[in-house]
Chains A and B, each alone.
Chain A
């Protein structure tokens, strides 16, 4: 794409530090295309929002970023995804790649381990052994996920027995415990009450200093609150990518974007 024609309104003199660069990405399940020809960049230390109705390819997009396609035999990927300067498909050690990318899915997955072990799992996998280090990571991540105060007295009880909203925050804490460079959030607030959602959103804004976040959300206003830039996906196509305010102010290239964000859609 020519530099003087960036559709996302980047000022040309701003040096852009790209973390993920996606080019010509196509994803299909069997012969069914979920996503076609998506080209975009995700910059370091931004919150990159993705909105769009069901079946837009948002989740598939996330799955391509850390090679989750390998979990689904029918899923095929075309084009390239470059993470940290290197094509993800060229990582021979896919585990090292995934360790640098944290993922939170819409449905909470409290692993059937204690709350403590849930959060300590990733550091342990990465070789952290000392109890003090683990304690520190567990507390920090649980605090960030706005869960610490609720579970500090029962770190030994099972993570899978927490309530749905708590499990979701546990999942977020677990993703943070990997110390990821990139955090993929897929509808993280679907099982969380609005007050807690706001607390987590505050945390995400702070986290922007340290990591990069891709936020897939059905809550258009959530993207507006959090995202620096937002992409609008529709039926497997990236219709629009713009700084969030621009996208919501109606200065868009495609009418469908405005229709969607203003709720006039379908």
Chain B
């Protein structure tokens, strides 16, 4: 009947070799993640407590908790999202659903991609010039959040546009043929079927925003503030900057403190990612094609 030829055997060996190679690469990918989490939990775990999360830093930040930084990061992320999500989603809707494919659209797309590639320290200087000085918001949550928003905007636009374009064109044409306007089509068919992707993109942006340090350094994050921000015009502490400060700027910090800060920060991000995955799974179950 069938004999395995030399070629068959060779194909099989090659197939195994590649499988092994790709598998090894995947393991290599996991190693740093496991190491980072392991070290953080091992060294920072003992620092974590309810007290640590909900008290102010004391004694030149060598003791006490991280409450102002935690609250500050929540402020920064929230205000940044309020600014970037409406603008980003609206821009993505325009580019995906309304704009015709001409040179202007192509230039805008190119600009968005380039904006995504701008280093965050450049965004920081832009924020300093534009929001702090020109608009006169001072160093404040508002300035810092707007800087973060500008920085994350391209990613929101790109991820939203991709979710929108994942909705089959046939759905749109079916709607248009019924006499639906562009907006009716978007509202009834396109958005309901892309909202899970859009939200996933947004939530992933949250975790990135929470970790950024450079853009907020000059624009609104403070080294040390003994009080919580009362409005968007106050300065604030932030987790990411606080980590930088207690790691490098303050003498005699016990070792567990920066690890505790880092663990809390990464914990926040992981919780948000987990929430995004859970939410996406929930929406996918209702997904419809």
Contacts and interface: CB of A to CB of B under 8 A. Distances in A.
A113 B101 contact: no
Contacts of B170: 105, 107, 109
Contacts of A175: 177-178
A265 interface: no
A174 B193 contact: no
B16 interface: no
Interface in B163-197: 170-181, 184, 188-189, 192-193
Interface residues of A, number: 31
A58 B189 CA distance: 28
A155 to B, nearest CB: 15
B289 interface: yes
Nearest to A124: B188
Contacts of A100: 179
Contact of A98 (B179, B189, B193, B289): B179
B173 A68 contact: yes
Contacts of B177: 66, 68, 98, 101-103, 175
B58 interface: no
Nearest to B167: A112
A171 to B, nearest CB: 7
Contacts of B287: 112
A95 B288 contact: no
Contact of B180 (A73, A97, A113, A125): A125
A219 interface: no
B239 to A, nearest CB: 40
A82 interface: no
Interface string B266-289: 000000000000000000000111
Question: Which of B179, B188, B192, B193 gathers most chain A CB within 10 Å?
Answer: B179
A220 interface: no
A107 B171 CA distance: 11
B179 A111 contact: no
Interface in A158-176: 158, 160-161, 171, 174-175
6 contacts: A68-B176, A95-B180, A98-B179, A101-B177, A109-B171, A174-B174
Given A98-B176, A105-B174, 15 more contacts: A66-B177, A71-B172, A73-B100, A99-B178, A105-B173, A107-B170, A109-B171, A112-B287, A121-B178, A122-B178, A158-B288, A160-B288, A160-B289, A175-B177, A175-B178
